[in-house]
Structure 1
Amino acid sequence: MTIQRMDHVGVVVDDMEAAKAFFVQLGMELEGEAPVEGDWVDRVNAIDGVRVDIAMMRTPDGHGRLELTKFHNPAVSSAEPVNAPNTLGLRNIMFQVDDVDTIVADLLAHGAELVGEVAQYQDSYRLCYVRGPEGVIVALAEELN
């Protein structure tokens, strides 16, 4: 028995519209949206009365997916509002981009914030972390040829 593929990464958000807009601005496409509730989702989550909306985002190449989940019931619980990059748990979601400066400028204009600065790793990559909605850290890497 082996893994067939990684299907998606899930992120719980409070402001679904802001989260979708952020990832669309980054270049992802909205694949679909749906409300989700019922006994099966309660059992999977080990929580009674789950009622959520999900939005599935897809990378332009069609291989990467990100599930945004907005809980209506039960209310979301919150960790630190702005986690540092060295916080235990899911650290970031990384995307390879064609022009890191342009993408960072676009995201900053739409309310994102740069965690540190854009830096170059040898002659290979220009990299940075950007914090988006709900404090999600997105890593961006531009490959240098």
Structure 2
Amino acid sequence: MKLNRVHHIAIICSDYAVSKRFYTEVLGLTIVQEVYREQRDSYKLDLAVNDLYQIELFSFPNPPARPSRPESAGLRHLCFEVDDLDTIVAELDSHAVISEPIRVDEYTGKRFTFIADPDGLPIEFYES
């Protein structure tokens, strides 16, 4: 089996307006396309990271909550590679987004931190 790359990551949010603002204004992802699907009463927002389409943000009426803590089975988190973690943390602070204390990966020696999106999805920032 030959896999080329991850094509996209799909995220279902509970409050579309709040999550759209978070992913576009706070994280700075670029909108590729936004579609309202009337039959599903659902929005689908295609987002790009550095001009590469990678994230689909969905809204559905009353989606069930998915626990992320304690560590539950399933997809654990979404991670963005960054050049300067201190700058990222300062930008998050300017948007009143709380980040965990910066830690160091014991195997790579690289620094990282986590935040939560509006629905509690863990998001990691990993310094390259």
Shorter-chain TM band = 0.7 to 0.9
Q: CA deviation at 1:104?
A: 2.0
Q: CA deviation at 1:37?
A: 4.5
SS in 2 for 1:11: strand
**Residues 14 and 28 of structure 1, relative CA distance in 2, 3 Å threshold:** same
Which residue is equivalent to 2:15? Answer: 15
Which residue is equivalent to 2:104? Answer: 120
Matched, 1:69 2:58: yes
Which residue is equivalent to 1:57? Answer: 47
CA distance in 2, matches of 1:111, 1:70: 24
**Alignment RMSD, CA only?**
2.3
* Percent identical residues: 26
Q: CA deviation at 1:28?
A: 1.7
Matched-pair contact (CA < 8 Å) for 1:85–1:91 = no
Counterpart AA for 1:98? D
Count of residue pairs the alignment pairs up: 126
CA distance in 1, matches of 2:20, 2:70: 22
Which residue is equivalent to 1:84? Answer: 69
**Residues 85 and 68 of structure 1, relative CA distance in 2, 3 Å threshold:** farther
Q: Which structure's CA Rg is the greater one?
A: 1
Matched-pair contact (CA < 8 Å) for 1:111–1:132 = no
Q: CA deviation at 1:113?
A: 2.6
Matched-pair contact (CA < 8 Å) for 1:22–1:110 = no
Matched-pair contact (CA < 8 Å) for 2:30–2:51 = no
Q: CA deviation at 1:7?
A: 1.9
Counterpart AA for 1:68? L
Which residue is equivalent to 1:95? Answer: 80
CA distance in 1, matches of 2:93, 2:115: 9
CA distance in 1, matches of 2:15, 2:92: 16
Structure 1: 5+ residue runs without aligned partners? 39-49
Counterpart AA for 1:60? N
**Residues 113 and 87 of structure 1, relative CA distance in 2, 3 Å threshold:** farther
